[in-house]
Amino acid sequence: MSRRRADEHCDISLLHWSQYLDGEFSTAACRRCEAHLAECPACRARLRDVRHTVRACRTAGRIALPQEVRSRARKRTQALLAGKAKGR
């Protein structure tokens, strides 16, 4: 990352911080990113946004099977395994 403006006019994209968060940069590039973050509130906010989005994805994925769906899934599994045991 070349030297960039570190103010509200900084034009580093969200994509850049998304890549940073995914560990796509070299160690040297990460160091430059961190130096930039230290002095650029706009980029700190962008990075915070990406982190928030990724965290929200993880939380949104915590979907529990409703009791009746879980119960049917268990019955299907047991029926299949019982059929296999009978067939032995």
**Residue 65 touches another protein, criterion: CB under 8 A:** yes
Q: Which 7-36 positions form the footprint of another protein (CB under 8 A)?
A: 14-15, 18-25, 30, 33-34
Of residues 2, 11, 61, 88, which one binds another protein by CB under 8 A?
61
Closer to another protein at the Cβ: 3 or 88? 88
Q: Does residue 59 interact with another protein by CB under 8 A? A: yes
Where helices occur in 14-62 by DSSP H, the ranges are 14-21, 27-39, 41-60
Q: Where is 78: in which H helix or E strand?
A: helix 67-87
Both structure tokens of 44: 């700190």
Kindly report the backbone phi and psi dihedral angles of residue 85, in degrees, each rounded to the nearest multiple of 5, phi listed first: -65, -40
Token pair of 40, please? 């650029």
Instruction: List residues binding another protein (CB under 8 A).
Output: 14-15, 18-25, 30, 33-34, 37, 47, 49-50, 52-54, 56-66, 69, 72-74, 76-78, 80-81, 84
